[in-house]
Structures are given as C-alpha cells and as structure tokens.
A and B are shown apart, each in its own frame.
Chain A
Amino acid sequence: NAGVTQTPKFQVLKTGQSMTLQCAQDMNHEYMSWYRQDPGMGLRLIHYSVGAGITDQGEVPNGYNVSRSTTEDFPLRLLSAAPSQTSVYFCASRPGTGGVRNEQFFGPGTRLTVL
C-alpha cells in the first residue's frame, strides 16, 4: 500500500493563480481531510470529507474548495492564490468504522509558496 500520497511536493504560484493539490489514499478510508501547517499555529483543518460526495468546512476554509467524487481522491483547490496561503499542506485519512477514535494517516505534505 502506498498509503496517502500527495502531489506536488513543492509548488510556487503567483498571486491570483489557481491550482489543485492532489491527494489520494489506497486504504479505502472513508474520512479524509486537509490541514495547513504554519509556524506557531500547528495544524489547522481546512476541509474534510466523511465519504464520497460529502464534504464540510473546517477551521480555515476561506479561499479553498474541495470535492470528493471517489473514496480514493480528495483534491484541494486554491481559487485565487494569495501570499497568506503560503504554507505546508497535509492531507490525511482514517477509517470510517470507529470514527473519530481512529488515528489519521498523513501524506508527506505539499510546500506551497505564493509570491
């Protein structure tokens, strides 16, 4: 199993550009989430999904869109990149059975810089 994979690993954008961060998992996990990590702020939840076709907002959803058309994939879209979105982005998944008692499995992260 590859676990949780993310692409790209690094990305530089100009202000106003849009892009999609890809996330995929091969563990048949129902729950997937996106976090951003900023110095001194820890990991903050952007969006999450409890299954295909179901998504919801986390703590910091503004400027990001998500969709979940399959169990495996959970892409994160930046609509119009801003310097404030410079961060490291982590995708995570966990089994649906057992819900929140389960630990999450994290991808390797995407380091995004917005100029």
Chain B
Amino acid sequence: AQKVTQAQTEISVVEKEDVTLDCVYETRDTTYYLFWYKQPPSGELVFLIRRNSFDEQNEISGRYSWNFQKSTSSFNFTITASQVVDSAVYFCALSEAGGGGFKTIFGAGTRLFVKA
C-alpha cells in the first residue's frame, strides 16, 4: 500500500537559514512518481516538482533542491537561504503506476515558518 510520511509537523527558521523538509514513502511498485506541492497562507496548492522512480538525479531550481534516494525511500526538499515568502505548508505526494493505480496519496504536510 502507498504511504507518505512527513515526520516534521512544523519547522521554524530565521530568514537566510537553510532548511530541509523530509519525506519518506512506502510503495511496492517499481514505477512510481513523487511530487512536492506548496500551500501558501492564501490556501491554494501549487505544484513544485515531480520525480519518477527511475530518475535519482538530484534537482536544483534556484533556491530549491530535491534529493531523491531510493535506498532510503526518501525524497527530501531543501530550501537554501530561506525567505519569508517561503512560509507555507509543503506536501509530499506519491502516485503508483502499477495495478491500474490512479490515486495520488499525500503526506500530512510540513508547516514552515520563516521569520524575518
């Protein structure tokens, strides 16, 4: 069965600090997709990144970077030099491709506070 665990409920940092949000997943599929979404205080959900199970390359996009490690079933998200605008709830999600799977399962989310 699919499962996504985001053990950090809330994180508080001071602006310009680096912060890593953890995501651990469980799946029996060999083909699956991992996602990160951001939910700012305004409430909408914004897609950030997708990774498939065959691509373990880390990715960097500006101040954001993602570290995907199949060996530890983790897909962690790092924000470098955090800014107040990064304050949001961040969700990790998992979709399985096998067994006719159409479901995307989300973790409980990590609320990030960035203080000026």
* Chain A residues near B (Cβ < 8 Å): 31, 33, 35, 40-45, 48, 50, 56, 58-59, 88, 90, 92, 99-101, 103-106, 108-109
Output the least CB separation between B104 and chain A (Å): 6
Tell me the number of A-to-B contacts counted with CB atoms below 8 Å: 57
Max chain B CB contacts within 10 Å: which of A33, A45, A48, A100? A100
Asked if B105 and A59 make an inter-chain contact with CB atoms under 8 angstroms apart, the answer reads: yes
In the complex, whether B103 has a CB less than 8 A from a CB of chain A is: yes
Main secondary structure of the interface of A (DSSP, over half): strand
- Which A residues lie within 8 Å of B93 (CB)? 43
Q: Residues of B at under 8 Å CB distance from A?
A: 4, 6, 9, 32-33, 35, 43-45, 47, 50, 52, 91, 93, 95-97, 101-109
Give the most central of A31, A35, A43, A88: most B CB within 10 Å.
Answer: A43
Contact (Cβ within 8 A) A40 B47: no
Establish whether residues B102 and A109, one from each chain, have CB atoms under 8 Å apart when the complex forms.
no
Q: Which of A48, A50, A59, A104 has the most CB of B within 10 A?
A: A104
Decide: A100 and B44 in contact? CB cutoff 8 A.
Answer: no
A104 CB contact (under 8 Å) in B4, B52, B104, B109: B104
